[in-house]
Amino acid sequence: MIDLSEKVVLVTGSSQGIGAAIALTLAQAGARVILHYGQSQDKAAEIAQQTNGYLVQADLSQPGAAQILWQKAQAWQGNIDVIVNNAAIMPAAGVEDEWEVWTATWQTTLQVNLVAVADLCRCAISHFQSRQGGTIINIASRAAFRGDGPEYMHYAASKGGVISLTRSIARSFASDQILAYAVAPGFVLTERTAAVMQEKGADSVTSDIPMGQPVPPQEVANIVAFLASGLAPHATGSTFDINGASYLR
């Protein structure tokens, strides 16, 4: 059984979906969890009650918000051992949309999914260097490797950046005992995915998944808990695919 009882973990985007499953799983393993949310305060409060966690709000679409988030999170216990960068957005915008819509969608998606992640990684690296190490776990996507549909090119691009960021951190800061991993899910059975399946039919999601169903959020959380445990330090820089064999590389 994984024991995280000595660890303080910051999980971004933890009010629902994958983030909520991660927060709950880490807390069950004994971690003290800092739960970040953007807008869903009520849902975040429910998860905080279940995990006995500490809530921190931040709008990561705003430049500079990540640094403030880190400062608030660190102030709770005075230290952070692991950060899980899970918060992300996936608005639609295609080449046929108005230029203003296209530009705004790209800028906001990159800000939340990549720039804020990089900012939090920067804060974590500085903190971990002063504490002889720590762990960064970035939630990427299958789309980082196989791309996505024409309305979600910005999302795929942002997640591709997360992969390169994670690998660069692993190579650059291993000597500081800083570990960096990426987890790349395919379709995960979140409320959003369930809504798509309801609206467009289950085949719209499952048709190219050999296992026949989206990934349960718990499976993603299980991988994150394992990586947070420190049991596989020499896997730093690796990406852990979890997509039901829908994309193999």
* Residues tagged active-site: 155
How far apart (Å, rounded) are the C-alpha atoms in residues 105 and 99? 10
| Residues 240 and 223 sit within 8 Å (Cβ to Cβ) | yes
Block residue for tokens 């910005």: 154
How far apart (Å, rounded) are the C-alpha atoms in residues 97 and 106? 12
How far apart (Å, rounded) are the C-alpha atoms in residues 95 and 92? 10
C-alpha distances (whole Å) from 109 to each of 42, 103, 140, 152, 199 are 24, 10, 13, 10, 24
DSSP 8-state secondary structure symbol assigned to residue 94: -
Q: From 124, 114, 121, select the one nearest 160 (Cα to Cα).
A: 114
The two tokens of residue 213 are 């169903």
The two tokens of residue 17 are 């979906």
How many other C-beta atoms lie within 10 A of the C-beta of residue 236?
A: 21
How many other C-beta atoms lie within 10 A of the C-beta of residue 201?
A: 11
How far apart (Å, rounded) are the C-alpha atoms in residues 157 and 165? 12
Residue 206, CA atoms < 13 Å, CB-side half-sphere: 13
DSSP 8-state secondary structure symbol assigned to residue 54: E
The set of residues, in sequence order, having a beta carbon less than 8 Å from that of 213 and lying 6+ positions away, is 189, 206, 244
